A and B are shown apart, each in its own frame.
Chain A
Amino acid sequence: MLRREFFKTLGVVAAATAVVPSMSFAAGAAPKGPNEMSYEAALKAVTNGKGATPSDKVSLKVPEIAENGAVVPVTVEVDSPMTEKDYVKTIHVFATKNNNSRCAAVHLTPANGKAMFSSRIKLGQTQDVAAIVEMSDGSFLSAAQSVKVTIGGCG
Chain B
Amino acid sequence: MAKIKSLIKIKPKKYSDGEVVQMSLMVMHPMETGLRKDKKTGEIIPADYINSVKFEYNGKVVTTMNVWESISTNPVFSTYLKIDGAGELKVTFTENTGEVHEKSTKIKPKG
Q: Which residues of B contact A26 (CB under 8 A)?
A: 35-37
Q: Is A50 an interface position by the 8 A CB rule?
A: no
Query: From B44, which residue of chain A is reached at the shortest CB distance?
Result: A31
- CB neighbours of B60 from chain A (8 A): 111
Q: Which residues of A contact B71 (CB under 8 A)?
A: 103-104, 119-122
Inter-subunit contact B36/A108 (CB<8 Å): no
Q: Which residue of chain A has the shortest Cβ distance to B37 in the bound complex?
A: A26
Which of A92-100, A132-140, A142-150 contacts the other chain? A92-100
A52 within 8 A of B: no
Whether A119 and B75, one on each chain, are in contact in the complex, defined by CB atoms closer than 8 angstroms, is yes
CB neighbours of A104 from chain B (8 A): 65-68, 71, 77
Q: Which of A34, A108, A109 contacts B34, CB < 8 Å?
A: A34
> Interface residues of A: mostly helix, strand, loop or mixed?
loop
Best-surrounded residue of B44, B65, B78 (most CB of chain A within 10 A): B65
Residue numbers in B under 8 Å from A100 (CB-CB): 68-70
A34 touches B76 (CB 8 A): no
Q: Report if A112-B82 is in contact (Cβ < 8 Å); known contacts: A119-B77, A120-B72, A120-B76.
A: yes
Which size bracket describes the interface of A in this complex?
35 or more
How distant is the Cα of A101 from the Cα of B37 in the complex, in angstroms?
Answer: 21
Expressed in whole angstroms, the Cα–Cα distance for A42 and B71 within the complex equals 17
| Distance of B63 from chain A, by nearest CB (Å) | 6
Residues of B within 8 A of A22 (CB): 39
Q: Which of chain B's residues has its CB closest to A28's CB?
A: B35
Q: How far is the CA of A29 from the CA of B45 in the complex (A)?
A: 14
Whether A70 touches B47, Cβ cut-off 8 Å, given contacts A24-B36, A111-B57, is: no
B33: chain A residues at CB < 8 Å are: 25, 33, 122
A-side contacts of B84, CB under 8 Å = 111
Tell me whether B20 is interfacial, beta carbon within 8 Å.
yes
The B-contacting residues of A in range 80-106, CB under 8 angstroms, are: 82, 95, 98-106
Judge whether B68 and A102 touch: CB under 8 Å: yes
0 or 1 for each of B24-56: is its CB under 8 Å from A? (1 = yes)? 100000010111110100001001000000000
CB <8 Å contact, A103 and B80:
no
How far, in whole Å, are A77 and B11 apart by their CA atoms in the complex? Answer: 17
CB within 8 Å of A: which residues of B? 20, 22, 24, 31, 33-37, 39, 44, 47, 57, 60-73, 75-82, 84
